[in-house]
Every structure is written in structure tokens, then in C-alpha cells.
Amino acid sequence: MAIDTDGFLSPEIKDWIRVHRADNNEWFEFSDALSRSSQKILTGMSIRIPDSGDDSEVLAMMLFTRALSNFQGSVLMAERGMIIEARTLTRSCLESMFCLVTMVNRKDLFAKEFKQDTLHSKNWRAKMALKDPADLLGFLNVDSETSLADYAFSLSQDPALKKLELGSIAAYAGLKQQYFVYRQLSADSAHASFEALQWYEGERGEIHWGPRCGMSEIAGTLSIACNSLINACMAADKIVKYEDLTNDIARHRQIYINVSEQKNS
């Protein structure tokens, strides 16, 4: 079960994990430490919806959970040399973080907009499914074409349905530069674009594929992912308010700055 025959599913990938972790030791060590601190938030989390009905903190912590999962997935991909997949998951981490920061700052106002965005998406999918209900019913959890039509009609009657623009969310959160990074990852990895295909171009015109990749590609991706998770932790800290966590985040921010400056020098 060699890399050439089984690809990234080969047991030999463990050898590349050792190589990539050794070559990018500081970034992987920092990523692991940051992940452990973030896990403390999950294990100590206890959020309840208050009598006011404002569930923004619950949604925020779910967004934090998603951001952390995205981050850990990115690290798993990076250590295997799956750089495109690592960058795609890092993009998802940024997306989760933008929504998390805005949810913490705007609370119930953004929670309502967040839910309306979901219904806007469901409305579009319901209308699409009506064109071919036999194959698409199951995706919307309805049991008949009639139920689907009723569901689509009920959604269309809501005047508040509105699609959220991630760029506006990031701008509100004061994260315009990170949104640029998000768009870059969309272009060079997440989307099936001409730019993303450049990763597969070899030096002599051959298809470049496999776990072999440059140190800078892994380091750059982990740097973006770590910065995103640090921002997510800072937002979550406003909810859970653990003194130890606050100190951990401050320490991680300084380590991040030190590692970044060292790698750029």
C-alpha cells in the first residue's frame, strides 16, 4: 500500500507526517498547544438560553466548536502534505471565526440575521428541489412533493429573508485584512479555479501530486489557521470568561508573533 498506489490513504503517509512535522516543528508545536488550550473551552463549556430567549451565546459557542474543528482538520491535512485541503479547511475556520466574532459583539441582532440567512438558503433549495423532487426531496427532510411545495411557500412568505454577505460581516468585526486572506484561499484552494490548479503543475510540465510540498506552503497555511483560531478564542473568552484561558490566549498571541517574526527574518 504505497503512496503511488493508495495515495494519501497509504500507511506510508505516517513517514511524511514525521517529515513535515520535523521541517515545520515550531508551527506544529504551536498549533498543538493552541488546540489544547482551545479544547479547554469546549470541555468547560456550559451555556444556557436565558429567559429573554437570546440564544446568541449558544450559537457563538457552536461557531467556536466549528472553528476549532476546522482548525484541527487543517493541521491534520497540513502534516500529511495535503496543502490544498489544509487551506480549504483554514478558509472554513476563517468563515466560522468571522461569524463568531460578530455574534459575540452584536448578540441577538446578528443571531436573527444568521437564522434568516439559513432560511434564505433553504428557500432557494426548496424552489430548486421542486423542479426535480424525485431526486432532491431527501435533502430537505420532507416526505412528499406536496409537503415540499407547502414548505417552499411558507418560506417565501417571510419578508425578512436575507442573504448575509461575509465581507460585510468581516468588516463589522474589524477583520478586513483577514477577509482578504479568506478570498485568497477561496481562489487558490477552495474553488475549482485556474489559480487553484496551479498547485498541480510540476516544474517540467508534469502533474505534481502527493505529500511532497515546501516548508513555506505548510508554514504559511498554519500561520493563517492559528491566527484565525486565536481570534476565535478571544471572542469565546468574552462568553466563558475563564481567567486561565484569558492568560493562555495572551501567551499564545505573543508566541504567534514571535514565531512569525522569526520565520520572516
User: DSSP for 244-261?
Assistant: HHHHHHHHHHHHHHHHHH
Question: Average of pLDDT values for 228-234?
Answer: 96
CA neighbor of 165 nearest in space, from 107, 113, 216, 122: 113
Confidence of residue 24 (pLDDT cuts 50, 70, 90): very high
pLDDT value at residue 153: 77
pLDDT at residue 63 in the model: 95
How far from the centroid of its chain's Cα atoms is residue 148's Cα?
31
pLDDT at 265 over 70: no
Over the range 160-169, which residues count as b (16 or more CB within 10 Å of their CB) and which as e? ebeebeeeeb
The single-letter code of the amino acid at 110 is F
pLDDT of 157 higher than 80: no
> By percentage, how much of the chain surpasses pLDDT 90?
59
- The reported pLDDT for the residue numbered 48 is 67
Q: At what angle do helices 176-185 and 83-106 cross, to 10 degrees?
A: 150
pLDDT tens profile 90-149: 999 999 999 999 999 998 889 999 989 988 888 888 888 777 766 776 776 666 777 777
Q: Is the pLDDT of residue 18 over 70?
A: yes
What is the CA 184 to chain-centroid distance, rounded? 14
Which of 150-159, 180-189, 236-245 is the least confident region? 150-159
- Give the residue-averaged pLDDT of 18-29: 96
* 34 pLDDT more than 90: yes
pLDDT given at position 263: 67
What average pLDDT does the segment 6-21 reach?
96
pTM summary value: 0.91
CA distances from 89 to 136, 157, 183, 188, 190 (A): 27, 35, 13, 13, 8
- 207-217 per-position pLDDT tens digit: 888 999 888 99
Q: How confident is the model at residue 5 (pLDDT cuts 50, 70, 90)?
A: very high
Residue bearing the bigger pLDDT, 149 or 254: 254
Name the residue with higher pLDDT: 27 or 54.
27
Instruction: Report the C-alpha dihedral over residues 88, 110, 252, 93, rounded to 10 degrees.
Output: -10
According to the model, what pLDDT value does residue 125 have?
84
Question: Radius of gyration of the chain from Cα atoms?
Answer: 21
How many whole angstroms separate alpha carbon 250 and alpha carbon 230? Answer: 9
Position 169 scores a pLDDT of: 95
**pLDDT higher than 70, residue 53:** no
Spatial separation of the C-alpha atoms in residues 250 and 265, rounded to whole Å: 23
Q: What is the dihedral of CA 37, 39, 41, 43, to 10 degrees?
A: -130
- Band (pLDDT 50/70/90 cuts) for residue 150 is confident
Please answer whether residues 98 and 54 qualify as being in contact, where contact means their C-beta atoms are separated by less than 8 angstroms.
no
Among 49-53, 71-75, 232-236, 261-265, name the one with the lowest average pLDDT.
49-53
Residue given cell 501567551 in the structure block = 251
What's the pLDDT score for residue 124? 85
